[in-house]
Amino acid sequence: MKLIDGKTIAEKIKGEIKAEVAAIIDRDERAPHLAAILVGEDPASQTYVTSKEKACRSTGITSSLYKFEETVSEKELLSVIDFINNDPDTDGLIVQQPLPEHINTDRVVASINPAKDVDGFHPINMGKMILGLPSFLPATPMGIMELLRRSKIETEGKHVVVLGRSNIVGTPIAIMLSRKGNPGNATVTLCHSKTANLKELCLQADILIAAIGQPGFVKATMVKPGAVIIDVGIHRIEDKSEKGYHIAGDVDFKEVSKISGPITPVPGGVGVMTIAALLMNTMKAYKKEL
């Protein structure tokens, strides 16, 4: 079994960013600055935001957190976004999802300045991504692309099967890998809950990307021997350990890794690369590269 070591690759990327930020500060210039908006007390959202702040700190990127009660109005949220959009000292802005039901998430995402949209969720950035124009790419698929690139996994001419068609993972990674480029030039099949012959399609995959949100869904019987496995899933599974839980993915790692080719672990695979990609986007926003 060969692990695709997201942790080591993410640490290398963070090291590169840290050196770049140190050089900026040495020139007496302002450090890059990422702002995050967090609404409510959802524990997973709090964990993600804390990891992002910690990653910023470790590289020298400044971070600020705008925290709101679950009851915050959409109007108030939009006015804070408007302030950050126009703040010359803030380069990137993320709004942690999910938002409470009384807030229209599409309206909130569309209100973010596309030049600061380091999550790449704004319709303008999504549209540019589809056209292959320079844009902020959504962090998770961008992290997967970086993982494939730096692990030297060939995608050209390969059959990639993506499980899950969410706007933040499945759909964008399917588009990115089917476009011209390296990684890219793959033939992609995008599967979802209405796909009829899921197992047969998975068995044809040279590269299988699982982003369906079902723990251990991909079994060894669904995998072609030697296939590359990218596991996007993140699940907190309760157990009898001291912590009381462990983190698992959408793939039955124990069984699948016995027959697969290179495979990402969970944790230590796509999750850490997502954060690394967010930092890369923050640097792009700081340098006004897009």
Catalytic residues: 52, 96, 119
Binding of ligand NAP at residue 192 (CB under 6 A)? yes
The CA distance from 268 to 277, in Å, is: 14
Query: How far apart (Å, rounded) are the C-alpha atoms in residues 282 and 237?
Result: 32
Residues between 203 and 222 that touch ligand NAP (CB under 6 A): 211-214
Minimum distance of ligand NAP from residue 22's CB (angstroms): 27
Asked if residue 281 binds ligand NAP (CB under 6 A), the reply is no
Q: Does 232 bind ligand NAP (CB under 6 A)?
A: yes
DSSP-assigned letter for residue 103? S
How many Cα neighbours within 13 Å face the side chain of 169?
21
Binding of residue 168 to ligand NAP (CB under 6 A): yes
Separation between Cα atoms, residue 262 and residue 139, nearest integer Å? 22
Choose between 72 and 126: whose C-beta lies nearer to ligand NAP: 126
Using the rule CB under 6 A, which residue among 92, 170, 172, 184 binds ligand NAP?
170
Residue 92 near residue 285, CB atoms below 8 Å: yes
**List of residues 6+ apart from 277 with CB closer than 8 A:** 137, 139, 140, 142, 143, 146
Q: Please list the alpha-helical segments (H only) found in the chain.
A: 6-26, 43-59, 74-85, 105-111, 123-131, 139-150, 170-178, 198-203, 253-256, 270-286
By CB under 6 A, residue 33 contacts ligand NAP: no
Residue 138 sits in the site that holds ligand NAP (CB under 6 A): no
Is the Cβ of residue 159 or residue 235 nearer to ligand NAP in the bound state?
Answer: 235
The yes or no reply on residue 278 touching ligand NAP (CB under 6 A) is: no
Instruction: Measure the CA–CA gap between 216 and 247, rounded to whole angstroms.
Output: 11
The reply to whether 164 sits near ligand NAP by the rule CB under 6 A is yes
96 torsion bin: left (phi>0), alpha (psi -120 to 50), beta (else): beta
Position among 51, 166, 185, 189 found at the interface with ligand NAP (CB under 6 A): 166
Closest CB to ligand NAP among residues 149, 192: 192
The one among 61, 103, 148, 163 contacting ligand NAP by CB under 6 A: 163
- Which range, of 21-29, 30-38, 83-91, 166-174, touches ligand NAP by CB under 6 A? 166-174
Tokens representing residue 7 in the block: 């942790």
Pick from 180, 194, 240, 243: which binds ligand NAP (CB under 6 A)? 194
Can residue 135 be called a binding residue for ligand NAP (CB under 6 A)?
no
Q: What are the angstrom distances between the C-alpha of 199 and each of 161, 202, 217, 223?
A: 11, 5, 11, 8
Residue 289, C-beta contacts closer than 8 angstroms, at least 6 positions apart: 134
Cβ distance to ligand NAP smaller for residue 129 or 168: 168
Torsions phi, psi of 264, nearest 5?
A: -85, 135
52 scored as a contact of ligand NAP (CB under 6 A) = no
* Sign of the torsion formed by the C-alpha atoms of 38, 45, 231 and 168: negative
Smallest gap from residue 80 Cβ to ligand NAP (A): 24
Q: Please, which residue, 115 or 172, has the CB nearer to ligand NAP? A: 172
- For residue 6, state whether it binds ligand NAP (rule: CB under 6 A): no
Is 257 one of the binding residues for ligand NAP (CB under 6 A)?
A: no
Interface residues with ligand NAP (CB under 6 A)?
Answer: 140, 163-166, 168-170, 191-195, 198, 211-214, 232-235, 270-271, 274
